[in-house]
Amino acid sequence: MRYLYRLSALTTFAVAVVTVSAQQPDAKTTTASKAWKQPKTPWGDPDLQGVWPSQNMIGTPVERDRKLGTRAVLNDEEYAKRVAQQKRGDFSGTLRPEGKFSLAGGWADSGKANRQASLVVEPADGRIPALTAEAEVREAARKKHWQQKHDSPDTWMDLTTWDRCITLGPVGSVIPSAYDSGQEIVQGPGYVVFRSEMIHEARVIPLDGRPHASPEIRSWMGDPRGHWEGNTLVVETTNFNGNIFVGAQGGGFGDPGAVATDQLRLTERFTRIDEGTIQYEVTVDDPQTWTAPWKIAMQLRREANYDHIDEYACHEGNIFMHDALAGARVTEKNAAQAGVQKGVN
């Protein structure tokens, strides 16, 4: 109940920030309030340090409802529906709002309802652009395989990079997850380190203008280079390995997004717009996967009860991988025995 009250109290603030950002997503236009002054590090860079979870954005869909067209901001009725959805998803405390108590354990955190229609703000319809013809074929094969094997894997390769605790990639690590959406920025002279709670990522971003690594060098998280444009940190990342899903988190069947090629290029902008908020934007460009670049914009906010990031033991001692593979074998064995029984009878 206390949480719901807090949710309600924060809504007004959230609406104000989101309305500005959804309509004018560029960092240049998300200016700070007059009373607030951008703090600087001792060596003179804009100070972005701190823990900035993306948790508040849970409940904002990656792609916009087609019915909204190019309207980036929810009206009062649509907003009321989102508030109601957030309340239904709020498992804080000991009872559901309606007093039910069941096996459902509230896996997911709830966000703070806002009026931003979608995380995707460009193109204007708030939807990820169409795939290229080549990517259509690739994605159809990937999704078919996922449908066939994900719930009963033959090998760890049948599971996503998220399941396998490898990575969510730079975009998937930042956009809100159902849980563990902690993000942290740590700065030093010449470097910014961006930590993501899920899955235990630390992107070390040099600011000294050095060139990207050789095109022969490829990695899951790519090769980031940063520079300042006023108070905005701009990070360009290339040299991906061609295995990163970009879009909704995880890359399951039906999730918006696709596995990008090694031609993926990300341009991220981090702008602190007040004491407790960073405006985050990322432009995704991979001409071999999407027919046009697209952009996500959202806010990373300080949370009173989220002031540090816990260590991430993603494999939980490899329990999931063991359980998924062992479970699939038991399922197969049971099915085979049922088949024998059927034959006997």
Give the binding site for other proteins (CB under 8 A). 3, 91-96, 100-107, 109, 150-153, 159, 162-163, 177-180, 182, 197-199, 250, 252-255, 305-306, 310-314, 316, 319-320, 322-324, 326-328, 330-331
Q: Would you state the structure tokens that stand for residue 244, as one six-digit string?
A: 């990163």
Question: Between residues 143 and 218, which has the closer beta carbon with respect to other proteins?
Answer: 143
Q: Minimum Å distance from CB 130 to other proteins?
A: 23
Query: Residue 258 and residue 315: Cα distance in Å, rounded?
Result: 24
Q: Minimum Å distance from CB 318 to other proteins?
A: 12
Q: Would you state the structure tokens that stand for residue 176, as one six-digit string?
A: 């809100």
* Paired sense of beta strands 50-51 and 191-196, if any: unpaired
- In this structure, are residues 86 and 111 in contact, taking their beta carbons and an 8 Å threshold? yes
Supply the DSSP symbol for 256: S
Q: Minimum Å distance from CB 198 to other proteins?
A: 7
Q: Minimum Å distance from CB 312 to other proteins?
A: 4
Question: Between residues 135 and 159, which has the closer beta carbon with respect to other proteins?
Answer: 159
Nearest to 250 by CA among 163, 321, 131: 163
Largest alpha-carbon pair distance within the chain?
81
Question: Between residues 20 and 328, which has the closer beta carbon with respect to other proteins?
Answer: 328
Question: Between residues 96 and 227, which has the closer beta carbon with respect to other proteins?
Answer: 96
The residue type found at 200 is H
Q: Minimum Å distance from CB 55 to other proteins?
A: 9
Q: Would you state the structure tokens that stand for residue 148, as one six-digit string?
A: 């066939």
Reduced to 3 states (helix: H, G, I; strand: E, B; else coil), residue 177 is coil
Task: Tally Cβ neighbours within 10 Å of residue 309.
Answer: 18
Question: Between residues 214 and 305, which has the closer beta carbon with respect to other proteins?
Answer: 305
Render the burial of 34-57: b for 16+ CB within 10 Å, e for the rest. Answer: eeeeeeeeeeebbebbbbbbbbbb
Question: Between residues 77 and 311, which has the closer beta carbon with respect to other proteins?
Answer: 311
Q: Minimum Å distance from CB 338 to other proteins?
A: 15
